[in-house]
Amino acid sequence: MKVWSIANQKGGVGKTTTALTLAGLLAKRGKRVILVDIDPHSSMGFSLGIDCDELDYSLYDLFTCPEKFTQRLTKRVIQKTQVENIDLIPSSMALATLDRELGHREGMGLILKKILHGIEDDYDYALVDCSPVLGVLMVNALACSSRIIVPVQSEYLAFKGLERMIKTLLIMQRSNSNHYNYLIVPTMFDRRTKASVQALEQMKVKFESRVWDKVIPIDTKFRDASERNIPLPQFAPRSRGVVAYGLLLDTLISQEASES
Ligand SMILES: Nc1ncnc2c1ncn2[C@@H]1O[C@H](COP(=O)(O)OP(=O)(O)OP(=O)(O)O)[C@@H](O)[C@H]1O
Ligand SMILES: [Mg+2]
């Protein structure tokens, strides 16, 4: 099972949309996907029509239960979605308290890795949708991922946030001697606006080949799909957003193939 995280400390840049759309595309290609929602706001679950406030168990229970119960409990936490080949590990509001409760406990950074290890034969891909908060949850996500996808909204302020996010990645890379392969993905690109075009140029100057050589365009169909509670590839397979994410998925798969 490959584990990819979608992360950026800035909010509203397209993280959840990226995770959902890549999951939808992978599912259509016959891959089994587990989506991991580590955002206490549960946007991923709600986007899939799952009311995370009503569930008996969530990722929070896996973080707080004794390790010997993890594998058994994981099977209970996992929710089927209405999309074939996509399951979900849902979040809950309680996750927001984890930093305070457990943040300093030894081994806290590797819990998600252990959870996913227990189901690695059941799925081809795990996609981890991060919250915009840098804390123990993001540390867990980065520690178990072979690839980090960093969506960045194509505008000036998002670019400032990006510098911070990459610094964070580098600091964490040093502290746990992990090597992160990250790809910066310009999202919500509007080629008619100067701000989008300029932001993209700045990103490419600063981060060079770390920036994906294509862009995800603005597409209002993303909102329509989330209102219908399904990923866009299942809702409007020919939309330009889906075509763009299809190219992104091809890039990610070929990058990973060339590394192994
Ligand atoms: N390419 C796009 N075109 C148009 N709208 C988009 C696009 N990508 C995302 N959106 C919309 O932008 C909003 C924010 O996207 P999303 O929820 O994916 O961001 P996020 O980074 O996960 O936010 P948060 O940090 O709050 O978790 C959503 O309403 C989503 O539908
Ligand atoms: Mg989100």
What DSSP string runs through 102-122? HTTSTTGGGHHHHHHHTTTTT
Nearest to 27 by CA among 78, 73, 82, 105: 82
Nearest to 144 by CA among 155, 130, 132: 130
Place of tokens 């239960």: 65
* CATH number where 53 lies: 3.40.50.300
Give the H/E segment covering residue 3.
strand 2-6
> Over 70: is that where the pLDDT of 29 sits?
yes
Total residue count of the chain as it appears in this document: 260
Section 142-150 average pLDDT: 93
Q: Domain containing 242: what range?
A: 2-259
Choosing from 35, 37, 222 the residue with most ligand 1 atoms within 8 A of its CB, the one to mutate for a pocket test is 222
Neighbours of 24 (CB within 10 A): 24
> What CA dihedral angle connects 166, 171, 176 and 181, to 10 degrees?
20
d(CA 18, CA 212) in angstroms, rounded, equals 14
d(CA 73, CA 65) in angstroms, rounded, equals 9
What pLDDT was estimated at residue 178? 67
d(CA 217, CA 248) in angstroms, rounded, equals 12
d(CA 201, CA 213) in angstroms, rounded, equals 11
The total number of structural domains that make up the chain: 1
Q: Which residues have C-beta atoms less than 6 Å from ligand 1?
A: 11-17, 39, 43, 132, 187-188, 216, 218-219, 222-223, 226, 241
For 162-213, the pLDDT digits (tens) are: 888 888 888 877 766 667 789 999 999 999 999 899 989 989 998 988 999 9
Residue whose CA lies nearest to ligand 1 atom number 18:
14
Nearest to 110 by CA among 151, 70, 170, 166: 70
For 215-258, the pLDDT digits (tens) are: 999 999 999 999 999 999 999 999 999 999 999 999 999 998 88
> Which sign does the torsion angle of CA 42, 148, 141, 75 carry?
positive
Q: In the 8-state DSSP scheme, what is residue 52? A: G
Residue whose CA lies nearest to ligand 1 atom number 13:
12
- 101 versus 141: the higher-pLDDT residue is 141
For 69-106, the pLDDT digits (tens) are: 999 999 999 999 999 999 999 999 999 998 888 777 78
